[in-house]
């Protein structure tokens, strides 16, 4: 029964109806199917889209090589974005998750043909797909048709040679590509250990922010992928030095990366009329909470909330994926409510699991928290999480 449910969850990407609910515009799955995510949600001037797998309209996995599967994924993305009042050329940010590093070049070649204008910012990682036989999953964020979409390139920098831009800005929001240890002026690799690579990526982020009229203090969310979780502390030491306090919300996972890079960092920044607030909820026992040394529990800007990745590993949940998922979401909901949000305001979740064989167990812990109009979701298996005993980590974005 669990395997049947898992297959059903993965089958309903590109078919659905567009409908209003709670001030948001949903692209819903076909009638009669109730997966624990929505294919797309438009909220706050952005279109959030679930991670797309290479399945056809009937949920059948497309057989073939990486090119055939990438083509199907883009067909699915195109269909969902059209229903949401957007298009591929309105995409501002993509995350490409590949099963095999050897497929990167062929994926990249086909990917480049899908955007007739300036391509979006992009992050690429390697991980285990939750659907057996799938070679990739792509998750995107877009703006509606007619919205502003501007390329940000620091003065003197060379445009990337691959089909992405370093950053795309829409209104007050800046979406950066996954930054690695490259020299922006000539695209050359900056060699060194993870400390050197982290500093290079962070300095590059500063140059991109400056070009957009922003600073490190405007960053609201980061996603850090490192090749070896044993180097976590070395990365943190460099990363944390770029703020005295009030660091952005963050999630960090061990993941394969393109080339020989040891770290890749993806940021979102907002600079607008609303203040940037750090959300620090009280502990479960009511005692005052505190920010972690390297990230804030959540960052609130106006009607948007960015929540750091949460884990649910305790003595009671040890080794139990379903229980850890439920506990992680309990902790995340506590943050949401302290910030004045609720589960109905969550528009997007990122889920990282340490063992894709436990995908069904994760769903069983996840689904009760979002019984109707669930957020969009991307899920990928990773090599390890920051806590050795953690089986799952979940990050949230909410919009009121």
Give the pLDDT confidence of 242-269 residue by residue, as tens digits: 999 999 999 999 999 988 999 999 999 9
Q: What is the pLDDT of residue 7?
A: 34
Per-residue confidence band for 17, with pLDDT thresholds at 50, 70 and 90: low
175: left (phi over 0), alpha (psi -120 to 50) or beta: beta
127: left (phi over 0), alpha (psi -120 to 50) or beta: beta
Q: Are 116 and 78 in contact (CB under 8 A)?
A: no
For residues 267 and 258, what is the distance between their CA atoms, to the nearest angstrom? 18
Q: What are phi and psi of 253, to 5 degrees?
A: -140, 160
What Rg value do the Cα atoms of the chain yield, rounded? Answer: 19
Q: What is the pLDDT of residue 335?
A: 96
pLDDT reading at 272 higher than 90:
no
Q: What is the pLDDT of residue 16?
A: 60
Query: Which of 390, 395, 373 shows the shortest CA–CA distance to 36?
Result: 373
First to last CA, the chain: 36
pLDDT reading at 13 higher than 60:
no
pLDDT reading at 10 higher than 60:
no
For residues 245 and 277, what is the distance between their CA atoms, to the nearest angstrom? 12
Distances (CA, A) of 227 to 139, 312, 389: 21, 23, 18
Q: Which range, of 55-69, 204-218, 381-395, averages the lowest pLDDT?
A: 55-69
Query: Which of 163, 169, 165 shows the shortest CA–CA distance to 143?
Result: 169
Beta-sheet strands, E only, within 39-180: 40-43, 46-49, 91-98, 121-126, 136-142, 150-152, 167-170, 173-176
The dihedral through the CA atoms of 85, 348, 136, 361 has a sign that is negative
Burial class (CB in 10 A: 0-12, 13-18, 19+), 339: buried
Task: Tell me the mean pLDDT in the region 353-375.
Answer: 96
Pairing outcome for strands 173-176 and 263-270: antiparallel
CA 187 to chain centroid, in Å, comes to 25
Beta-sheet strands, E only, within the chain: 17-21, 24-28, 40-43, 46-49, 91-98, 121-126, 136-142, 150-152, 167-170, 173-176, 219-226, 249-254, 263-270, 276-279, 298-301, 304-310, 346-353, 376-381, 384-385, 392-399
pLDDT, one tens digit per residue, over 43-101 is 999 999 999 999 988 889 999 999 999 999 999 999 999 999 999 999 999 999 999 99
For residues 269 and 284, what is the distance between their CA atoms, to the nearest angstrom? 30
Q: What's the predicted TM-score (pTM) here?
A: 0.94
Q: Are 177 and 167 in contact (CB under 8 A)?
A: yes
pLDDT, one tens digit per residue, over 131-151 is 999 999 999 999 999 999 999
pLDDT reading at 15 higher than 60:
no
Query: Within 10 Å of residue 51's Cβ, how many Cβ atoms?
Result: 26
User: What is the percent of the chain where pLDDT is above 70?
Assistant: 95
Pairing outcome for strands 346-353 and 376-381: parallel
Q: What is the pLDDT of residue 252?
A: 97
Q: What are phi and psi of 10, to 5 degrees?
A: -90, -5
β-bridge partners, 67: none
Query: Within 10 Å of residue 390's Cβ, how many Cβ atoms?
Result: 21
Domains of the chain: 1-147 (3.30.1330.40), 150-272 (3.30.1330.40), 295-400 (3.30.1330.40)
Distances (CA, A) of 354 to 178, 320, 348, 379, 385: 21, 12, 20, 11, 7
Task: Tell me the mean pLDDT in the region 350-366.
Answer: 97
The dihedral through the CA atoms of 267, 271, 272, 277 has a sign that is positive
User: What is the percent of the chain where pLDDT is above 90?
Assistant: 86
Give the number of residues written for the chain. Answer: 400
Q: What is the pLDDT of residue 32?
A: 64
């Amino acid at each position: 029964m669990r395997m049947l449910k898992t297959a059903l969850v993965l089958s309903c990407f590109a078919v659905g109806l567009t409908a209003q609910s709670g001030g948001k515009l949903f692209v819903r799955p076909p009638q009669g199917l109730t997966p624990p995510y929505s294919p797309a949600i438009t909220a706050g001037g952005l279109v959030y889209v679930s991670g797309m797998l290479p399945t056809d309209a009937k949920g059948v996995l497309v057989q073939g090589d990486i090119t055939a599967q990438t083509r199907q994924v883009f067909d699915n993305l195109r269909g969902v974005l059209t229903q949401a009042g957007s298009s591929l050329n309105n995409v501002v940010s993509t995350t490409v998750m590949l099963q095999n590093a050897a497929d990167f070049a062929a994926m990249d070649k086909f990917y480049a043909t899908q955007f007739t204008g300036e391509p979006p910012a992009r992050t690429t990682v390697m991980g285990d797909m939750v659907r057996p036989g799938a070679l990739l999953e792509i998750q995107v964020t877009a703006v509606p048709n007619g919205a502003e979409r501007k390329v940000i390139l620091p003065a003197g920098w060379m445009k990337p040679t691959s089909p992405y831009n370093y950053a795309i800005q829409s209104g007050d929001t800046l979406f950066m590509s996954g930054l690695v240890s490259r020299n922006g002026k000539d695209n050359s690799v900056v060699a060194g250990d993870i400390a050197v690579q982290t500093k290079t990526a962070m300095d590059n982020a500063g140059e991109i922010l400056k070009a957009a009229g922003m600073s490190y203090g405007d960053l609201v969310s980061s996603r850090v992928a490192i090749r070896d979780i044993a180097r976590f502390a070395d990365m943190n030491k460099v990363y944390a030095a770029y703020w005295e306090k009030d660091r952005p919300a963050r999630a960090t996972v061990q993941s394969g990366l393109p080339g020989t890079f040891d770290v890749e960092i993806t940021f979102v920044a907002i600079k607008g009329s609303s203040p940037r607030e750090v959300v620090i909820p009280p502990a479960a026992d009511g005692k005052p909470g505190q920010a972690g040394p390297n990230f804030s529990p959540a960052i609130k800007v106006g009607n948007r909330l960015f929540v750091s990745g949460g884990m649910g590993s305790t003595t009671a949940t040890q080794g139990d994926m379903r229980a850890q998922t439920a506990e992680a979401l309990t902790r995340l909901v506590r943050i949401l409510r302290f910030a004045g949000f609720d589960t109905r305001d969550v528009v997007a979740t990122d889920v990282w699991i340490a063992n894709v064989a436990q995908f069904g167990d994760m769903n069983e812990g996840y689904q009760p928290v979002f019984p109707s109009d669930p957020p969009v979701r991307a899920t990928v298996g990773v090599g390890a999480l920051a806590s050795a005993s953690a089986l799952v980590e979940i990050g949230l974005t909410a919009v009121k």
